[in-house]
Structure 1
Amino acid sequence: MTTTRTVLITGTSSGIGLAAAVAAARAGHHVVATMRDTARSGALTEAAAEAGVADRIEVARLDVTDPASVAACLDEVIARHGRLDAVVNNAGAGYVGTVEQDGLDPVRATMEVNFFGVVEVTRAALPHLRAAGGRVVTVTSVGGVIGQPFNEAYCAAKFAVEGFMESLAPVAATVGVHVTVVEPGAVASEFVASQGIDLPALLTAAGPYAPALQAYAERTRAAFDQAQTAEQAAEAIIDALTAEQPPFRVQTSDRARAFVGAKLADLDGSAVQRLTGSWVG
């Protein structure tokens, strides 16, 4: 059994998850860096070695959509370390499309990873986090606050996560567990590239929605030209892990704060509709 704080992070093969794993290890935590396919751990292993924290990061398999995998991973963590002090729910999947054209299957698949996976990991971890007075830190998105064109499934899942965590937070606090959601905006990471989006094919299949999709794609490309790095986004996660009284909601950049602030001040929804409507008009 160890007295070092043990942090489990999901989705660490690339992007924010990889950066958070390295940063958490540099902050002195022992990191259980999980991913669905541990054969993809090379980038993390290399980054950990370069940062001099390889001895504080262990790679473990965890598929957030498989309850048996979640249970097995947590059982191993407790058997090996005797404690779990924090979970960072980072694993996720994007999806670009619209429901009339694509049907319900992509919506269900996106919800399974981005919402139900988060719920399952959190549920399974809570007994151990209660014992440690620990923390749940969940990476959502500005898309969990503002619905974005052609991201219906993704934003629906992230909205659901935000609602779940906002509801859980006061309940978890009664047993000594802090809950925080971290809302990145555009992040320059492999997450975007890994979605395998074929824009010409999407436009061909978009039918009457093609002009709007083209406009959205051009706007989004410009936004990602100004994206923050995964390392910058991960700083907010580390703050949530280490702050004495972490906030419930935190954004990872000034641009993200301004974007989310527009929604939180928009009581009738008209300002957000004007904003996102301009992306596709």
Structure 2
Amino acid sequence: MTTTRITLITGTSSGIGLAAAVAVARTGHHVVATMRDTARSGALLAAAGAAGVADRIEVARLDVTDPGSVEACVAGVVARHGRLDAVVNNAGAGYVGTVEQDGLEPVRAAMEVNFFGVVDVTRAALPHLRAVGGRVVTVTSVGGVVGQPFNEAYCAAKFAVEGFMESLAPVAATVGVKVSVVEPGAVASEFVASQGLDIPALLTAAGPYAPALGAYVDRTRAAFDQAQTPEQAAESVVAALTAEHPPFRVQTSERARAFVGAKLADLDGSTVQRLTGGWVG
């Protein structure tokens, strides 16, 4: 069994996952950087080479929505390295729309990736994490605390992840496993570019919701113009993995802290409704 710490990170082909893989490797961990399509590993490998950590990053295939893929990936890591010290649940997918227009399928799809995928990877990893006193770090979102217009499916899944992890944390602690969630706000490149949104088509199809959707898109584009970088967000992932006593909930910026803090102090929901209502009207 190797004595090097082994960290598995999901969703590493771009964004926070890619940045986290490189940043965690810099701390000396051996990173198993997973993605659904390993043909998309070029950007990660280039970044790892530029950072001088290519020898500490191993690309592996993992589709978090496929139970067989989850079992095979986790088992393969333990077979190759003899241990698994940490899991970073980062793989996820956004969705912009509203349920009357779009129906249930987008909600089910968002739950499969953003919730059930996280649960399954965590479940498969826990026996190995127990053996070494390991960690589970899950990248959620400020949208896992604050419900946001036209993000019903995405926020529902992220709320579910936060509830799952908040409930799991004290149980896992009894067997030596630390659990944390990392809550980014706006991160550069994630809104329109990574979701492949066709805004004119969305507005055309939005019917009576078109004015609200247009206002939301304008507001959100402005917010992403001030977004932090994936590398900045990844610093919080590293902190959750390396702190001796990591907190359960970590926001990745002052803006994210203020946003989440407003919700956690909002006992009757009126503050959030005034805030997010302004985004659509």
TM over 0.5: yes
Tell me the equivalent position of 1:250: 250
| 1:189 positional shift | 3.2
Gaps of 5+ in 1: none
SS in 1 for 2:278: helix
Aligned-partner Cα distance in 2 for 1:95–1:57: 30
Tell me the equivalent position of 2:217: 217
Partner letter of residue 85 of structure 2? D
**TM-score between the two structures when normalised by the length of structure 2:** 0.99
Tell me the equivalent position of 1:124: 124
Aligned-partner Cα distance in 2 for 1:64–1:191: 22
1:176-217 residue CA offsets vs partner (Å, 9 max, x unmatched): 000000000000035751211100000000000000000000
Tell me the equivalent position of 1:58: 58
Q: State whether structure 2 residue 71 is matched by structure 1 residue 74.
A: no
Aligned-partner Cα distance in 2 for 1:63–1:112: 11
Gaps of 5+ in 2: none
Aligned CA RMSD, in angstroms, stands at 0.7
Structure 1's 191 and 17: CA in aligned 2 closer, same or farther, altered over 3 A? farther
Aligned-partner Cα distance in 2 for 1:214–1:264: 28
Aligned-partner Cα distance in 2 for 1:191–1:72: 32
Aligned-partner Cα distance in 2 for 1:192–1:12: 19
1:56-98 residue CA offsets vs partner (Å, 9 max, x unmatched): 0000000000010011011110011000000000000000000
4+ residue segments displaced more than 4 Å = none
SS in 1 for 2:8: strand
Tell me the equivalent position of 2:152: 152
SS in 2 for 1:7: strand
Structure 1's 181 and 136: CA in aligned 2 closer, same or farther, altered over 3 A? same
Q: How many residues align?
A: 281
Aligned-partner Cα distance in 1 for 2:132–2:10: 19
CA contact (8 A) 2:169 2:179 kept: yes
Aligned-partner Cα distance in 1 for 2:32–2:222: 35
CA contact (8 A) 2:191 2:221 kept: no
CA contact (8 A) 2:191 2:224 kept: no
Partner letter of residue 135 of structure 2? R
- Identity score, percent: 88
Partner letter of residue 121 of structure 2? V
Aligned-partner Cα distance in 2 for 1:208–1:44: 42
**TM-score between the two structures when normalised by the length of structure 1:** 0.99
